[in-house]
Amino acid sequence: MNARSAFAQMLRSRTAMIGTFVKLRDPAVIEILGGLGFDFVIIDAEHAPFDRESIACATLAARAANVAALVRIPGIEGQWISTALDGGAAGIVAPQVRNAAMAAELVQKFSYRDGARGFSPSTAAAGYGARGIAGHLEAQSEETVLICQIEDRSAVGEAGDIAATDGVDGLLVGPVDLAVSEGLTDPGAPEITAMGEQVMSAARTVGVSGGMFVADPSACSGWSDRGATLFVLGADQSFLQQSARAALAAARQATP
């Protein structure tokens, strides 16, 4: 079983998994994170400069490291979905999904049959032709997932309907976007936490995975108690900053 299939099965069974955002384009970053044992990475094509070529390199690194790679696309345009999935991504993280109609549109663009996604059996995801048409059609539905991000108050209120849209596999709360949409700068504010709890409850009721971005690993326990099963722990940039800051401070202290 490849990393994509394993991730999809675990997500759909609401098994707890831990991943992180990747914003740096060097594919070695993904190899390192995969080697450390992360369950998945999210290639951030929304807020980092990933294009078609760099997404292909990033998903290649993920396959080499046997780690599932999702792609957060910059919009719901079909070409971004095809680029990510044809490159071998385990799924799509769609930002700013506000209602079930948007979710249904994403599902259609995600789908081959009765959908709007073009098909090719010669892509990296298809083993460059090794799977054949029938084999790739069957495998893609089993090994790729759609996760919708909930990032403003209106989407929180629609979370149940979004989660219940056939073809949606999970919801992911973006607490920073939620806070900014509310005119706040603290993603840990009580009202933001309450909205996150509402989304986790909606996901659990429908039976899909509920995910949460957490900057502090100690927050995972509390969100697990609230029903979260997908944890996005920081980002490669923050890991680099934290480690470099600590090393520099220690070196400064040890230098006469």
Instruction: Round to whole Å and give the CA distance between 87 and 85.
Output: 5
Instruction: Let me know: does 155 contact 174? Beta carbons within 8 Å.
Output: no
Ranking 5-9, 111-115, 208-212 by mean pLDDT, the lowest is: 111-115
Report, as an integer, the average pLDDT of 4-18.
Answer: 97
What percentage of the chain has pLDDT greater than the value 70? 100
Which residue in the block uniquely carries the two structure tokens 């220690």?
250
Instruction: Quickly tell me which residue has 């600590």 as its tokens.
Output: 246
Q: How confident is the model at residue 1 (pLDDT cuts 50, 70, 90)?
A: confident
Contacts of 173 (CB under 8 A, 6+ apart): 149, 150, 151, 195, 196, 199, 200, 210, 211, 212, 213
pLDDT, position 115: 67
Q: Enumerate domains of the chain plus CATH numbers.
A: 3-254 (3.20.20.60)
183: left (phi over 0), alpha (psi -120 to 50) or beta: left
| SS3 category, 115 | coil
**Residue 47 reports pLDDT greater than 80:** yes
Taking alpha carbons only, the member of 215, 118, 130 closest to residue 173 is 215
Summarised one tens digit per residue, pLDDT across range 152-169 is: 999 999 999 999 999 999
Cβ–Cβ < 8 Å for 48, 25: yes
* Tens digit of each residue's pLDDT (9 = 90 or more) over 209-222: 999 999 999 999 99
Span 39-51, mean pLDDT?
97
Q: What 3-state class would DSSP assign to 256?
A: coil
Per the CB < 8 A criterion, the answer to whether 85 and 61 are in contact is no
Contact in structure between 92 and 73 (CB atoms under 8 Å) = yes
Q: How far is CA 216 from the centre of its chain?
A: 18
Query: If phi over 0 gives left and psi between -120 and 50 gives alpha, with beta otherwise, what is residue 234?
Result: left
